[in-house]
Amino acid sequence: MSDKPKNTEKTSEKTTDKKAEQHRRLSVFKTYKLYVGGKFPRSESGRVYEVTDPRGTWLANAPRASRKDARDAVVAARKAFGGWSGATAYNRGQVLYRVAEMLEGRKGQFVQEVADAEGLSKAKAAEQVEAAIDRWVWYAGWTDKIAQVVGGANPVAGPYFNLSSPEPTGVVTVLAPQESSFLGLVSVLAPVIATGNTAVVIASEKSPLPALSLGEVLATSDVPGGVVNILTGGTAEIAAPLAAHQDVNAIDLAGADEALAKELEIAAADNLKRVVRPQPVDYSATPGTDRLTAFLETKTVWHPTGALGASGSSY
């Protein structure tokens, strides 16, 4: 009689083990892809490279974009420029704020990705992600105000109105910072699109995963396809054809070292691109308007006020 409970217990343990084995499953590893024209293509070359954390632990394979991918991204950005630059500043602000909303809902995912990418604690990574979300809100608020700050009426000697107003430069290539894979990326990308430009972004070469995940957020945040295009791979390899590309109007060299920056600046001079050279930046500090105005052109309009009558009044 005393053996029966023992046998029953062993049978119960075996049954539990079998059920656990039946429910055991493999994790679904994420396949990261480029973000071009609102879609998620694999690299045209089919190449990938291993992404590791600061301790060398494998995190994922990222696509290694080719020159063809870079050209496709420029085509997509140029196609989207007319609609995005023609949208009202208030509408662009709504779209940027929507990005912040979507990031807030996926904050946990980005905290984990930033922690892995940069070797940070969860608390430090959370600070970076929250600052990035706040940065989207910051630039969303500037979209319909920057014209009042940098534009205005100019005094002239004559019966004319002379008005200066800012306009977006066009297609901007952005080399994202290498060390700040998410906050730095947002800090250089958001002001570009806030002012009506479209962007081709080269993500941090060693920590590209947060940028690729940002592409997934942008795709569901009312940002029109092609306004932001995200490429990963060798920074120098992708940046060289973009710096020389005749349909790229400006380039931000935030993620380039001194030697690469000089090389790209020389290539950019061929079609008189606007160039923002790399400089030390504290991305955690409140940004000014420098990057908002860096990719704006000033249009000046003259308009007659009308001829003066005999009494000196205009009509």
180, two tokens: 């700040």
pLDDT, position 3: 53
Dist CA 295 CA 292 (whole Å): 7
pLDDT, position 161: 80
Confidence of residue 13 (pLDDT cuts 50, 70, 90): low
Average pLDDT along the chain:
90
> Would you list the domain boundaries of the chain?
48-304
Whether 2 has a pLDDT exceeding 80, the answer reads no
Phi-psi region of 57 (alpha: psi -120 to 50; beta: other; left: phi over 0): beta
| Percent of the chain's residues with pLDDT above 70 | 90
CATH code of domain 48-304: 3.40.605.10
Phi, psi of 18 (to 5 degrees): -65, -40
Q: 97: which strand partners?
A: none
The residue-averaged pLDDT of 159-166 equals 80
**Other beta carbons less than 10 A from residue 233's beta carbon:** 24
pTM as predicted: 0.86
Dist CA 73 CA 68 (whole Å): 9
- DSSP letter string over 75-91? HHHHHHHHHHHHS-HHH
**Closest by Cα among 274, 271, 278, 264 to 295:** 274
The residue-averaged pLDDT of 128-135 equals 97
The residue-averaged pLDDT of 194-203 equals 98
Confidence of residue 315 (pLDDT cuts 50, 70, 90): very low
Which position has the token pair 């590791």? 52
Whether 63 has a pLDDT exceeding 90, the answer reads yes
pLDDT, position 160: 76
**Other beta carbons less than 10 A from residue 87's beta carbon:** 17
pLDDT, position 310: 53
**Closest by Cα among 161, 149, 255 to 200:** 255
Q: pLDDT tens, 200-218?
A: 999 999 999 999 999 999 9
